[in-house]
Structure 1
């Protein structure tokens, strides 16, 4: 079984510039999910939306081609892809010739599906979409919609996850439906301890969640070591357990590292995936 400490994170790595699918390093989701009480039956749906900003290959005449790539990994996949391995894998395309962009797309789709579903039956494919150079100026930048929690003037003294900060209004209060955002999410890489900066959007309906407590809770991830996907699932499960909303969705957009950004989305009910639109910090 692949473990995070066995990956290339924090290690000196040779950059291979000839295509090599074996560079992808899948890590099982199950271990970290067990830490927050999750088993085979998940309380959420969703996906991890990735954007690759450093993708290049050669055409049959040796001329470099570049594109952006969007990936949608269903949260049901038994593995996440360790991000440095994904970067190394994408770099292996750099001096590899492909007949056309369609061949690159087919190769990406086949490889990431195999890695994400390794050892399991494929239930839903990883989505892959290429954005060619001529469409780069169509890629929008937009901040997460919602009421910003960052407007609140609060004391913050806890910097490891503190779900006890989460609370709701009195039971006799009328239920609400709110979309709340914060740009103050920060955690650290599980292996290297390097900072991961993010913005988060929380959509829910039910008893009103105390805004100050929610912001303090989000800030409490500041010194926490966990991968992006794991942080979002922890946030979802803590709010779900402590505040008991009727419906809940948690969406985070993390700034890129190594030419990749990772944007997990988890929801308690079926809905369309949010559009993979980067924020200003990404």
Structure 2
């Protein structure tokens, strides 16, 4: 696999570098990264994406001051369409959100509008931003993942780098099923810090061998790639291996620095990411 972690765009990011934390609003802290850096590696054309979907981020540590200097807090969701030209590098996103901490705003609605404006400009797409005040926190409950859990399968694992050869069909029988696992782990492309996730795979088509799928997911364990890129790789590998008539891949990553990232990819444009939040988040 081509190593694109040394590209000038990634080398200019703040990941893995000592940084100063600003508590005064500063939109320039956002560092966009082109999605095409990874997509070209897995054979995905920006002009003809083989999937639809979105990346939903949750911000648990958002705070600012009202006009009287009193602190305000909220939980935020940020939804980026996968068709956007850019993603936001996660540490820069955190630095940007921290810059609200000692800045005065006249209302929650004003903060929401500023977030949507800045993130949309950085990602070069319309970003949907929703802020939840403390009285609305129960809108984000923990839920179980749907479908069959693969994690109790008694498998033997030796591969810890993505290996599509592990993917095999169970039979030619056509099925419709939802599977999930909590054993997905990859590493940050730049810092090699571990990224932990639960993943849901829903498909219609030739039956997939559950043991082979779990071994394949485990094979990401030593792989260095951003969250969004891992999910797109998994989606494309499953599509290429089994050609399902319907496929959805949705990963719920655990938070780091007050942010979680939850990429969703689907073969159908009318699907949106499931409203899930596990207790790992």
Report the TM-score when normalising by structure 1: 0.95
Aligned partner of residue 258 in structure 1, secondary structure: coil
Matched residues, number: 274
Aligned partner of residue 57 in structure 2, secondary structure: strand
Which structure 2 residues correspond to residues 1-282 of structure 1 after superposition, within 5 A?
3-40=9-46, 41-117=48-124, 122=125, 125-170=126-171, 173-282=172-281
Could you tell me how far apart the structure 1 residues matched to 2:110 and 2:135 are? 18
Q: Is the 8 A contact 1:146 1:181 kept in 2?
A: yes
4+ runs deviating over 2 angstroms: 274-277
How far residue 6 of structure 1 moved from its aligned partner, in angstroms, is: 1.6
Aligned partner of residue 174 in structure 1, secondary structure: strand
How far residue 98 of structure 1 moved from its aligned partner, in angstroms, is: 0.3
Map Cα deviations across residues 64-98 of structure 1 (whole Å, 9 max, x no partner). Answer: 00000001100000000000000000000000000
Could you tell me how far apart the structure 1 residues matched to 2:152 and 2:270 are? 29
Map Cα deviations across residues 1-52 of structure 1 (whole Å, 9 max, x no partner). Answer: 9622221111111000000000000000001000000112110000001000
Aligned partner of residue 263 in structure 2, secondary structure: strand
Could you tell me how far apart the structure 2 residues matched to 1:271 and 1:148 are? 26
Could you tell me how far apart the structure 1 residues matched to 2:167 and 2:23 are? 48
Aligned partner of residue 14 in structure 2, secondary structure: coil
**Alignment RMSD (CA, Å):** 1.1
* Unmatched runs of 5 consecutive residues or more in structure 2: 1-6
Q: Is the 8 A contact 2:55 2:81 kept in 1?
A: yes
Could you tell me how far apart the structure 2 residues matched to 1:276 and 1:78 are? 25
Q: Is the 8 A contact 1:58 1:95 kept in 2?
A: yes
Could you tell me how far apart the structure 1 residues matched to 2:96 and 2:27 are? 6
How far residue 278 of structure 1 moved from its aligned partner, in angstroms, is: 1.5
Map Cα deviations across residues 174-199 of structure 1 (whole Å, 9 max, x no partner). Answer: 30001000000000000000000000
Map Cα deviations across residues 106-126 of structure 1 (whole Å, 9 max, x no partner). Answer: 100000000001xxxx4xx21
Report the TM-score when normalising by structure 2: 0.95
